[in-house]
Amino acid sequence: MRAIVTTRNGDVDVLKVENRPDPIPQKGEVLVRVKAAGLNFADILARQGLYPDAPSKPCIMGYEVAGTIESIGDTVDPNIVGQSVIGMTRFKGQAELVAIRASQVFEKPTELTFEQGAAIPVNYLTAWALVVTMGGLNKDEAVLIHNAGGGVGLAALDIAKHIDAKTFGTASASKHEFLKARGLDHAIDYRNQDWLPILMKLTENRGVELVIDPLGGKSWKQSYRALRATGRMGVFGMSTASASGIRGKLRALKAIVQTPRFHPLGMMNRNRGVFGLNLGHMWGEADKVASWTREIMQGVAEGWIRPHVDRSFRFDQIADAHRYIEARKNIGKVVLVP
Ligand SMILES: NC(=O)c1ccc[n+]([C@@H]2O[C@H](COP(=O)([O-])OP(=O)(O)OC[C@H]3O[C@@H](n4cnc5c(N)ncnc54)[C@H](OP(=O)(O)O)[C@@H]3O)[C@@H](O)[C@H]2O)c1
């Protein structure tokens, strides 16, 4: 099979398409012929050497795929061979074939293309955990979604709209028109101006009940200030660190130095909470993830979960795909097709 290999840390030239032996599904696994694989920010950070969860290099990245079941290992129901599925995998998804635990694949709804299917797991499960499970967003509350034009951002917007909460989002100005068309109530250009005073003005100085923040560093300090009483802040990334080589290391260091400390007594007295999410550390909680997946699939059937694929790149265009995300050009998901 052909696979995208991150050969070492570095710029996009370290990404190669190489031939690898076909995986053989083990007991309890299925072999998926990949029609589309999600490309995630984590894959960029892994290439830059800034993703602590990445496997050692050379490695095949890829947390999510959509495709068809080619064969099965022992104990798996043979009737599922040939089925179109969406799957979550701990790496190795950016390949023509991947072996996945049968419990981590679910049937692809017919209304979704393979590309749209591959756009679901990471973005929507992350957004579900942040907005619903841990964020507990309610109708009549307000949420601030940072990087609202990214894959997780758009997924969070779908979910917050369904809850009927008021939505604020930060994004590059070029993404605002699209976000408003998707239903965002207020888009804030956070790249050319200080977003916090604008948010406070829009909320009559009250702030919001939920902020989801993947930027890290000093952004977490600002986001905490944006919380209204009973507000929660969910932290889930450090996008500000993204850069290759020494520049990335320095940015990561700066973000760590600028990370605020939250004292329990301070949170108690301000009626605020802070929580963190790392979906990549949920592999031991298959039941929880499966129940979120069922809710998301229900949303697909009802039409309020709307995975948006911005662009798909062929495996041999992997360098362009990474550059596209690094240049912040994507609105929603970027997927890879063999
Ligand atoms: N903890 C978890 O479980 C988990 C799961 C999924 C994702 N994440 C994290 O969430 C973040 C967003 O993921 P995503 O899949 O939504 O990414 P995405 O679709 O690639 O969107 C990322 C957006 O972030 C903004 N951005 C901010 N700083 C950036 C930088 N230095 N370089 C490039 N873009 C930057 C850009 O929007 P603007 O143009 O509007 O600035 C960009 O479009 C990432 O930090 C990722 O690692 C965490």
State the pLDDT at residue 286.
92
> Which among 220, 239, 310, 313 is the best mutation to test ligand 1's pocket, defined by most ligand atoms within 8 Å of the CB?
239
User: By alpha-carbon position, which residue is closest to atom 11 of ligand 1?
Assistant: 214
Q: Which residues contact 15 (CB under 8 A, 6 or more apart)?
A: 4, 5, 6, 7, 47, 318, 319, 322
Beta-carbon count within 10 A of 63 CB: 24
Q: How far is the CA of 68 from the centre of ligand 1 (A)?
A: 29
Closest Cα partner for 42 from 25, 62, 15?
Answer: 62
Q: Which residues, 6+ apart, have CB-to-CB distance to 85 below 8 Å?
A: 30, 32, 66, 67, 68, 69, 105, 106, 107, 108
Pocket of ligand 1, beta carbon within 6 A: 40-42, 122-123, 126, 147, 149-153, 171-172, 175, 191, 214, 236-237, 239-240, 242, 277-280, 325-326, 328, 330
For position 115, what pLDDT does the model report?
A: 98
Q: What is the pLDDT of residue 122?
A: 98
Confidence at residue 243, expressed as pLDDT on a 0 to 100 scale: 80
Compute the CA torsion angle 176, 180, 181, 185 (nearest 10 deg). Answer: 170
pLDDT surpassing 90 at residue 268: yes
Task: Flag whether pLDDT at 314 surpasses 90.
Answer: yes
| Pair 248, 49: CB distance under 8 Å | yes
Residue 44: closest CA among 57, 61, 59, 65:
61
Length of the chain: 338
pLDDT band at 119 (very low <50, low <70, confident <90, very high): very high
Distance CA 176, CA 202 (A): 16
What average pLDDT score do residues 296-321 get?
A: 98
3-state secondary structure (DSSP) of residue 158: helix
Interior/surface letters 267-291, b for 16+ CB within 10 angstroms, e for the rest? eeebebbbeebebbebeeeeeebee
Lowest mean pLDDT among 6-10, 84-88, 250-254: 250-254
How many A from CA of 140 to the centre of ligand 1? 27
Between the CA of 335 and the centroid of ligand 1 the distance, in Å, is 15
Cα 63 to middle of ligand 1, angstroms: 15
pLDDT of residue 225: 97
Cα 236 to chain centroid distance, Å, stands at 9
Q: How many angstroms separate the Cα of 303 from the Cα of each of 16, 112, 142, 330?
A: 38, 11, 22, 23
The residue-averaged pLDDT of 268-293 equals 96
Q: In the chain, pLDDT over 70 holds for what percent of residues? A: 100
Give the separation between CA 27 and CA 194, rounded to whole angstroms: 54
What integer pLDDT is reported at residue 61 of this predicted model?
Answer: 98
Whether residue 272 contacts residue 227, with contact meaning beta carbons closer than 8 Å, is answered with yes
Residue 36 CA to ligand 1 center (angstroms) comes to 20
Residue 34's identity, in one-letter code, is: V
DSSP classification of residue 298:
H
- Alpha carbons 83 and 33: distance in angstroms, whole number: 11
In whole angstroms, give the CA distance from residue 170 to residue 164: 19
